[in-house]
Structure 1
Amino acid sequence: MTLKGLLFSSHIHTLLCCCVHVCVCGPCQILHICGCVLNRRRLWQLSRSWRRHPQECPQEPGRVGHLAHGEQVVTLREHASCQRQPQRGESHSMQDTNTTGVSASLPVTVREKKLHWPPVTSFPRVLFSPPSALLGYVKSQNLDESDWTNTLYPSPMSVFEDGSFTDEVNMSAVMLKEDDPGEAAAVSLFPEFLQSYLHHSSSAVFDLLEDYETICQEKTLQKLVLRSATTQQKTSKTASVAWLLEQEAVTWRLITSLYRDRIQTAMEDGLMMDVTVPSESEKVIMEQLFQRDGVVRQSQLVVDWLESIAKDDIGDFSDNIEYYAKTVYWENTLHTLKLRRDKPMAGFSRPLVTELDPDAPIRQKRPLADLDREDDARLLRYLFTLIRAGMTDEAQRLCKRCGQAWRAATLEGWKLYHDPNINGGGAELEPVEGNPHRCVWKVCCWRMAEEEQFNRHERAIYAVLSGNLRQLLPVCETWEDTVWAYFRVLVDTLVEQEMRSSGLSHEELEELPREYLEASWTMEKVFEELQATESKVECVCVCVWHVAGLMEEFSDWLGRTPPLPGHLLRFMTHLVLFYRSLGMQLKEEVCVDVLKAYISLLVKEKQLELIAFYVSHLPIEMAVTQYARFLEEVTENEQRRRCLELASKAGLDVAAITKTVVETVRERDSEEFSHHDLTPALDTGTTEDQQKIDIIDWLVFDPAQRAEALKQSNAIMRKFLASKKHEAAKLVFAKVPKDSMREIYHQWEEQGMNMPLPAEEENAIREHLCIRAYLEAHEAFNEWFRHLNSSPVKPTAPAQAKFTEKVAYEMKEKEYKNWQGRLEALTEEVKERIYNVLLFVDGGWMVDVREDAEEDSERSVQMALLRRLCLPMMTFLLLTVLQRTARHQESLRLADIIASDQHRLYEVFTREELQKFLQKMRESSLLLLDKGLDPLGYELQS
């Protein structure tokens, strides 16, 4: 029968067990089976023959071709000249890439409970499509952390559940209800990401991304340790945080590989010429395709990424897999057949296969024993999962270990053929790689995938190897699996089309369906197909290649409620910073919104050490506003100082920020200036008043801001004085260092300026002195008033007093005279203080001396209004002092001062106030008349 006839012979499902190639050892003429076309039954028969008659190579004693049925372990030993060595070029350099994207992996280990498949994941997972395994989920799911774990898709390994879970899976279920440790451990990610960013230079962006992935993985590992160290019930919030970190880690992995490839390709494009060298090697053609075609290369990166995720979930496999440690293929069926042979009358009525070659169940249309069918189904599920994780070598090893060496051989035929000896010209022959009959093998795999009599996972295995998407999708249980299937087939199809266009394709390949051979797969088409699936997670794969689309997704997510999780915001922020570091054109509004959202989170979480850095990446004016808004809530003095230090290190405009903080707080209320007669005294401070008082501290940390401190404190005190909150104004005044005016002049002189101070600074200093004079006058009056109201009773001399009574009288009289003396002194002091206000030098109280300053209409209005509010009040306070101390003549002289054209104080009085003032003058005149003096207090002349 010809090779093609064997390929399509009915009922014998031909498999191409092409381990390497067919060769004959020259010296001994013994056939060394490295690859041949065999049906499964023939391979099984050959194995039994070799078991009985192993042949030894005379040139190299001890080297035998050995396929032992009893042990079910293949040992294909070759002559030295036939040995196949791994070639560096066999797989694509990105991640051991091959034609179909299956990555060869070293055998690893797993713990497993007897009679149960090993657990694969610790957490349920759902696929996130590129650019972010983390981001796709947000598109259509509720972001409320409380119900995430209720909406997660099952693990890809949930197919292995058969009624019970291992300890690890049970631990995962317990973890969903734990409260504290996991979530608390993840909080340190915020500062760790910033430290990592600052540690790496701008040219080491990919080292930075790898560090991001490592940090996320370490935090996930910490949670695993925490959950195994406690029996406390955990909440789903901890689980969701761990799950987010898991997804974020693999997302950084994808971004790293994709953009590293892009940048390396861009750098090489200018150095390399697009030269296609004719070749008779499938492997060389594939390498040339990957080198020049970015779509194939990056699609393979996506495949490798998805396989690496699956591999991480699977964990480590151990060699001690008890359930598959048996050495007999279909042992239960074999045992039953032996019993029937030994005891033909034992009453076995159920029909079973009578032969044990791999094709027997299909050929005889008879079943295996139930336990063997279950074993096969479980094994096939497991093999598919290994292939899904890119662990084809491990799948082959497991096949051999489980007595199915023939199946291991069927998984070898995908390798592209390459004979380095054709064009090598070397003296020594080099080992040949790959499968010379790959086309026949692939057609067989396709037809097996289409055969409905086979197990669904067995069909899926060969669908993977042959690029049969239709038969592969039914076993894809997660969105992750589906994306892997599409991209795997995309790469397989593009490589096969390249082989056909190169002329190396064989006629057997034409037996594949036209839909496969002529498929026009592109990334856009893959995305369209993925979006058309029934997955509940919408595809955002295109965002990896279209950053503008990613920015739109970010904008949409930021507008949703409830707010995004903190770790998602952190990821989005650092992704934006990564794109900026590459010089990519981004939508600035969205980048700003992402940064602002993350900054708000850091403020909420009180991550004071981190905020300044992220604020520095905002536009300058917005950065000032954002950081000032944050500083409003910082109340402790040391924290304030530290925040300003961090702002300075981050390159922020500290002076503008502190000024903005103060202005924002002092302008927060809408209280207007009002006439003092219409408002009561409000010396009791409020919380808002205290905020305004404390806010001045922001301006006194840096001596260079003393001028601004004066201006802002003056503005706050103006409002307090207008509200008659004198105590609050005093507290603000006390916040300004006493040496501020000297410091301002000193700084000006240090700048080498010989001219006078700027008008704004000079006017601020004068205003500060005006307020000080007013507060001193008000304090002097209060002290005088308190002393006046604490007067002792004036003693009267007792008549015919005893000695003790005289002594007591003298003491009281002395006390009264002391009080009078103190009152006289306080009266003189309060007079002086009030006159300092009323007769303030150089133009009057609250009047600027420099008119060349920049116009500030609000300040001018407030100062003018304060003159109208405070000067009349000072006048009436002085009248009170003079009248209560019987200094009526002095009170009458006050009228001359008010009416003076030099001071023009009468202009600040209202009509009612002038009438009240004149009434006070009348009262003093009447009292003087009662004393026998004239109305002005002079003696009457007779």
Structure 2
Amino acid sequence: MSARSHLRNPPGSLFRQAVTPRRYPDVLSMNTSGLADTSFTDDDTNLSSDLLNGDDPLGEAAAGSLFPEFLASFLKSSDLFDLLKDYQDLCRGKIAALQHAVLGSGRRSKTAVGVKWILQQELNTWRLINSLYRDRVQAEFGDDVMTDLPVPSESERLVVDQLFQCDKVVRQSQLVVDWLESIARDRMGHFADNIECYAKNVYWENTLHALKVRRTGSAALVTELDPDAPVRLQRPLVDLDREDDNRLLQDLFTLIRAGMIEQAQRLCKRCGQAWRAATLEGWKLYHDPNITSDSLRLQPVEGNPQRGIWKACCWRMAEEQQLNRYERAIYAALSGNIKPLLPVCESWEDCVWAHFKVMIDSLVEQELMSSGMAHQDADALPREHLEANWTMNKVFEELQATESKKVMEETTEHYHVIQKAVILEDLDGLLEDFSDWLTGPKPLPPHLLRFMTHLVLFYHSLGMALKEDVCVDVIKSYVGVLIKEDQWELVASYVSQLPVDVATVQYASVLETISQSERRKRCLHLANDAGLDVAAITKLVVETVLGRDNTEFTLHTHTLDNATTQEELEKIDIIDWLLIDPAHRAEALKQSNAIMRKFLAAQKLDAVKAVFSKLPENSVTEIYRQWEGQDTPLPAEDENAVREHLCIRAYLEAHKAFNDWTNHINSAPQRPDPAHQDKFTVRVANEMREKEYQSEYARWEVGVGHLTVKVKEIIHSILFGAWMVDSRQDALEDVWRSRQMATLRSLYLPRLCALLLHVLQRSNQHQEALRLADIIASDQHRLYEVFPKKELSQFLQRLRDSSLLLLDDGLDALGYQLKP
């Protein structure tokens, strides 16, 4: 999606006046309903994010739904700036919900205060990002908006309009001022309406009354009531009027700080100080449309033609030490005088607002001077103001030199650091700060990590060059938060934003911690929807878990405790990951074979059976079915895995057949002891028990015969079938697997031969038992190679016993009839 597509409603000419508090609805959302807070004090805005570590669930319950809601907005939105608006709406809604929750609970929740504060900071930051990057994208791609204006000759306003269109520093500085003023308005709530309740329409009425009645002690008061009287006469007002004046001036500055000059003027008029309202009017740039208009009808003139004189007066009033500090700050803000303005700036936002306001004022005056539009009276302003070399970086350098401990502490607060980087467009510095925070001693609040993650994703969507390793760390940290917050259904979507190899490792590490079968299936379904490589992930999960096994592949020749340990059970259960999707059945076969090889070496047959029982019976059929109709045959590795699986199954069947044979042999019916009495009834009973015994014994012998044949067939199929030998030699070489299979042959083939010999000897099939020697010595099967010398010697000794028994029966040593 091109950057141009993000600009569905380009704002056109955004700036009509310099250093004016004009609002731009298409850039900043001015919907502040519901943000006025009556339950939290002003001190709440200075809360540290440490408040989020409390145990009070009120705040977390109200804001916890932001995790899925932010992801839903991220996935559904196709326009970046619509997405930013969604983020703002989500934060705004949760702030209102937190306020409602606290009011409804009837108690002050420390956690709710902390969460509300951090969400308010996040909302402010999203608004700043929306404002600045809408302008930056538009400036880069909106050539139709940034049109060149003709050089103006008779209008201050046209000069400044052109400055704002052509100079992105001035334009974006004004956006920062607008943003900071909107924050101030949010905090005011209904303040602008409430402060007028005490307004009086008579100017200094208490002093006027004292002078009229010539009250005792009034000789020290002013004798005249013009606006300059207290300063000119060096005499005070009545205390009540002085207090009202001080409060009014503080309220006026609060309104001007919020960009509400018209409301400030209205308040002045209601308080009987219309002259003061007039002093707040002179900032407007002069523009006479009749000079360039072809119309015969005169149009009204805009602005102040004597703005230079007005501004010089404002500057001198701001320097007047006898005036109230808020009155000085008011005129300092209007004239660009930074020194009287800073003493009333109590927060980081206030100081940034003051510096950017002064910077814009200075740059505007310089532009007017260079264009020849400046009045001669402008020379009354100090040259350091008119020639100041202001930059955005210089603003924040000045902030670092502040003497306010509170402002200095706020400078290092997380969101203010982010806001500074956004204003300066210092992405490298921002990501360095992210890296420091992630490696810091304290864990970051969950909502801060959520914001950091979505900020990184926003920059990626814009195509900005970022430090990939830090972005990866941010998303991985947020994934950890989601898991901790039990938001595991959101994990796949965020992991899919990582590089492919990193995403595979990260999601595999997440799946390792999940044991519930249904949740495993759900996680893989979500991973598939998110475009992750599910096959690679599940394979890595299994390999990682199995790789933690530090025990070596060691052959145990003695019988061990056959009980399955907890660690072994974890290995067995991990196979479930590969069985969820039938497409991974070949991989499941390979990994289960690897587990069973180790269990076979340790003679843990119960564990081997447990692994084998995990695999669906149609696994082999499913593997071949997936390759039906393909142009290429089944890969050699898969075919060898199938053969190994069948070899292990054959051994388990042989082991079961031998156990069945052993149990049947040991369950032979016992001949009943006859009762020694001559009574007829006793003899009849003895005969009946003997017949019953003979019948049971006959059935037992038949069973022995059947079971003996079954054992012989299965073991013969193993001995003659190249057990644990690959059928395809063109597979990728796996040295460790080949060695393990050879080791298992050396353990189990001699044992199977011994079992078969035992069955044949117990069944009196000594001649067939002696034929085992031919089988072992055969060059076709080369079974003698897997026999250790000691075991081969013992095996031959047992064959000798069969030969002796045959000789005792009148046969030769091999069981053939002797010739007469």
Q: Could you tell me the TM-score, scaled by structure 2's length?
A: 0.89
Over 3 Å counting, the alpha-carbon distance change for 1:242 and 1:929 in structure 2 is farther
Pick aligned residue for 1:392 from 237, 247, 261: 261
Counterpart contact for 1:120–1:315, Cα < 8 Å:
no
Report the AA paired with residue 758 of structure 1.
P
- Which piece of structure 1 moves more, 852-861 or 895-904? 895-904
Report the AA paired with residue 744 of structure 1.
I
CA drift at 1:682: 4.5
CA drift at 1:442: 1.0
2:595 equivalent to 1:693: no
- Which piece of structure 1 moves more, 862-871 or 489-498? 862-871
Q: Who is 2:470 aligned against? A: 590
Distance 1:285 1:855 in 2: 78
2:775 equivalent to 1:897: yes
Report the AA paired with residue 790 of structure 2.
E
Counterpart contact for 1:110–1:316, Cα < 8 Å:
no
Pick aligned residue for 2:714 from 833, 838, 842: 833
Report the AA paired with residue 596 of structure 2.
M
2:86 equivalent to 1:211: yes
2:196 equivalent to 1:277: no
Over 3 Å counting, the alpha-carbon distance change for 1:706 and 1:563 in structure 2 is same
Counterpart contact for 1:490–1:521, Cα < 8 Å:
yes
Counterpart contact for 2:63–2:94, Cα < 8 Å:
yes
2:19 equivalent to 1:100: yes
2:176 equivalent to 1:302: yes
CA drift at 1:496: 1.0
Q: Deviation digits for residues 898-932 of structure 1, max 9, x if unmatched?
A: 22222111211222322332343345556666777
SS in structure 1 at match of 2:45:
coil
CA drift at 1:828: 3.1
Q: Who is 2:133 aligned against? A: 259
CA drift at 1:308: 1.0
Pick aligned residue for 1:358 from 223, 227, 230: 227
SS in structure 1 at match of 2:557:
helix
Q: Who is 1:73 aligned against? A: none
CA drift at 1:940: 7.1
CA drift at 1:611: 1.9
Distance 1:104 1:266 in 2: 23
Counterpart contact for 2:492–2:526, Cα < 8 Å:
yes
Q: Deviation digits for residues 861-917 of structure 1, max 9, x if unmatched?
A: 221111122222323333444445555554443333222222111211222322332
CA drift at 1:789: 4.5
Over 3 Å counting, the alpha-carbon distance change for 1:915 and 1:395 in structure 2 is farther
Q: Deviation digits for residues 671-691 of structure 1, max 9, x if unmatched?
A: 22222315x435322333333
Counterpart contact for 2:308–2:378, Cα < 8 Å:
yes
- Which piece of structure 1 moves more, 919-928 or 222-231? 919-928
Counterpart contact for 1:685–1:728, Cα < 8 Å:
yes
Q: What is the CA RMSD across the aligned residues, in angstroms?
A: 3.2
Over 3 Å counting, the alpha-carbon distance change for 1:863 and 1:118 in structure 2 is closer
Residue ranges of structure 2 left out of the alignment (5+ in a row): 1-10
Pick aligned residue for 1:499 from 361, 364, 368: 368
Over 3 Å counting, the alpha-carbon distance change for 1:805 and 1:459 in structure 2 is farther
2:787 equivalent to 1:909: yes
Counterpart contact for 1:784–1:823, Cα < 8 Å:
yes
Q: Who is 2:60 aligned against? A: 183
CA drift at 1:667: 2.6
CA drift at 1:303: 0.8
Distance 2:689 2:113 in 1: 86
CA drift at 1:725: 2.1
Report the AA paired with residue 654 of structure 2.
A
Over 3 Å counting, the alpha-carbon distance change for 1:178 and 1:432 in structure 2 is farther
How do 1:529-540 and structure 2 match up within 5 A? 529-534=398-403, 535-536=408-409, 537-538=411-412, 540=417
Report the AA paired with residue 138 of structure 2.
Q
Counterpart contact for 2:51–2:110, Cα < 8 Å:
no
Q: Deviation digits for residues 209-259 of structure 1, max 9, x if unmatched?
A: 1111111111111111111111255233x3322222111111111111111
Counterpart contact for 1:105–1:392, Cα < 8 Å:
no
Distance 1:272 1:100 in 2: 20
Over 3 Å counting, the alpha-carbon distance change for 1:917 and 1:105 in structure 2 is closer
Pick aligned residue for 2:587 from 708, 711, 716: 708
Distance 2:533 2:764 in 1: 59
Q: Deviation digits for residues 652-675 of structure 1, max 9, x if unmatched?
A: 222222222222223321222222
Distance 1:839 1:925 in 2: 24
Pick aligned residue for 1:744 from 614, 623, 638: 623
Distance 2:669 2:58 in 1: 71
Over 3 Å counting, the alpha-carbon distance change for 1:404 and 1:105 in structure 2 is farther
CA drift at 1:178: 8.1
Q: Deviation digits for residues 159-207 of structure 1, max 9, x if unmatched?
A: xxxxxxxxxxxxxxxxxx8822321232221221221122122xx1111
How do 1:673-822 and structure 2 match up within 5 A? 673-678=553-558, 680-753=559-632, 756-791=633-668, 793-800=670-677, 801=682, 803-804=684-685, 807-808=688-689, 810-811=691-692, 814-815=695-696, 817-822=698-703
SS in structure 2 at match of 1:125:
helix
2:161 equivalent to 1:287: yes
Over 3 Å counting, the alpha-carbon distance change for 1:716 and 1:232 in structure 2 is farther
Counterpart contact for 2:195–2:251, Cα < 8 Å:
no
CA drift at 1:98: 3.5
SS in structure 2 at match of 1:430:
coil
Distance 2:669 2:272 in 1: 116
- Which piece of structure 1 moves more, 352-361 or 614-623? 352-361
Distance 1:296 1:320 in 2: 34
Q: Deviation digits for residues 272-303 of structure 1, max 9, x if unmatched?
A: 66454132111111101001001100111111
Over 3 Å counting, the alpha-carbon distance change for 1:403 and 1:824 in structure 2 is farther
Residue ranges of structure 1 left out of the alignment (5+ in a row): 1-91, 127-136, 148-176
Counterpart contact for 1:386–1:394, Cα < 8 Å:
yes
Counterpart contact for 2:211–2:218, Cα < 8 Å:
no
Q: Who is 1:566 aligned against? A: 446
2:510 equivalent to 1:614: no
Question: How many pairs does the alignment contain?
Answer: 790
Q: Who is 2:102 aligned against? A: 227
Report the AA paired with residue 403 of structure 1.
G
2:524 equivalent to 1:524: no
How do 1:503-514 and structure 2 match up within 5 A? 503-514=372-383
Q: Who is 1:166 aligned against? A: none
How do 1:292-331 and structure 2 match up within 5 A? 292-317=166-191, 319=193, 321=195, 323-331=197-205
Counterpart contact for 2:40–2:113, Cα < 8 Å:
no
Q: Could you tell me the TM-score, scaled by structure 1's length?
A: 0.78
Counterpart contact for 1:697–1:735, Cα < 8 Å:
yes
2:368 equivalent to 1:489: no
- Which piece of structure 1 moves more, 278-287 or 699-708? 699-708
Pick aligned residue for 1:628 from 491, 505, 508: 508
Counterpart contact for 1:109–1:316, Cα < 8 Å:
no
Report the AA paired with residue 175 of structure 2.
L
Distance 2:294 2:125 in 1: 46
Pick aligned residue for 2:45 from 125, 149, 158: 125
CA drift at 1:350: 8.3
Distance 1:511 1:652 in 2: 68
Over 3 Å counting, the alpha-carbon distance change for 1:907 and 1:104 in structure 2 is closer
Over 3 Å counting, the alpha-carbon distance change for 1:282 and 1:120 in structure 2 is farther
Q: Who is 1:473 aligned against? A: 342
SS in structure 1 at match of 2:708:
helix
Counterpart contact for 1:95–1:301, Cα < 8 Å:
no
Counterpart contact for 1:101–1:303, Cα < 8 Å:
no
2:302 equivalent to 1:382: no
Report the AA paired with residue 189 of structure 1.
L
Counterpart contact for 2:88–2:127, Cα < 8 Å:
yes
Distance 1:144 1:410 in 2: 45
Report the AA paired with residue 623 of structure 1.
A
Over 3 Å counting, the alpha-carbon distance change for 1:349 and 1:271 in structure 2 is closer
CA drift at 1:933: 6.5
